[in-house]
Structure 1
Amino acid sequence: MGKFDDLPEVRREGLEKMEQVYGFDMTDGTGDFFAYTADHLFADIWNRPGLSDRDRRLLLIGLLTGQGAADVLGIQIPAAHAAGELDDAALREIVVFLSHYAGWPNGARINSIVEQTIAKAARAAAKRQD
């Protein structure tokens, strides 16, 4: 039995998609904001046909970079990397590309997140090999 099986189907689907997108364990939340996030954004919007999760992630990373939302980029970039949606080279290319459209300060912020993500993954890989 799954940990979300006792929840309504739409909430279960939303929480499962949130875990997939964010790359960490979720728990059910309370309030209208959480309900819209889980039930609408993740159960519905992230599961619509027409775009892959990678496509959605690329759009979101571009938007967040333009907004200077380093806090959310600090979640999305490592999750995309861990999920295999974006490798080291793709992340570094995103930095170069977005810096020219979102501005150099925003590019510098995303570059820091990208390089921290790549370094952390390399350390984890090295640790697994030991």
Structure 2
Amino acid sequence: MSKFDDLPEARRRGLEKMEEVYGFDMSDGEGDFFRYTADHLFGDIWQRPGLSDRDRRLLLIGLLAGQGAADVLGIQVPAAHANGELDDDALREIVVFLSHYAGWPNGARLNSIVEETIAKARRS
């Protein structure tokens, strides 16, 4: 039984996938933006066949690094690490690789997030 069982199927699937991807508790939200995020992005797109969650995460981290989106990387990198999708070595290799394509300043921001993630996990 899910805490989301009383919600429509698309919302339930989306919120459950969001919890799985992000690694923290989700609650239902309001508005069109939340609806598209939960019902469509996580209820449909993240659950399509053909790519694993790790594949999707790698693509997303690359895109976010290229955009310099450190705020969202600060969610995605720790979640990938906590979910066991990317270990310390893989995260550090991603930094080296992406720095050459996304630019050194974006790589430096990603490196800070990666090292903070690894250090926090070791303290836990």
Counterpart CA distance in 1 for 2:92 and 2:116 is 12
Q: AA paired with 1:13?
A: R
TM-score by length of 2: 0.99
Gaps of 5+ in 2: none
Amino acid at match of 1:59: L
Superposed counterparts of 1:27-46, under 5 Å: 27-46=27-46
Instruction: Establish whether residue 87 from structure 1 lines up as the match of residue 55 from structure 2.
Output: no
**Alignment RMSD (CA, Å):** 0.5
The residue type paired with residue 123 of structure 2 is R
Q: Percent identity?
A: 86
- For residues 23 and 68 of structure 2, the distance between their equivalents in structure 1, rounded to whole angstroms, comes to 22
Could you list the per-position Cα deviations for residues 27-85 of structure 1 after superposition, in whole angstroms to 9, with x for gaps in the alignment? 00000000000000000000000000000000000000000000000000000000000
The Cα of 1:2 is off from its aligned counterpart by: 2.0
The structural deviation recorded for 1:95 is 0.1
1:45-56 to structure 2, matched below 5 A, reads: 45-56=45-56
Which residue number corresponds to residue 2 of structure 2? 2
Task: Provide the secondary structure at the position in 2 that maps to 1:39.
Answer: helix
Paired residue total: 124
| Counterpart position of 1:74 | 74
Residue in structure 2 matched with residue 11 of structure 1 by the alignment? 11
Normalised TM-score (structure 1): 0.94
Match of 2:96 in 1: 96
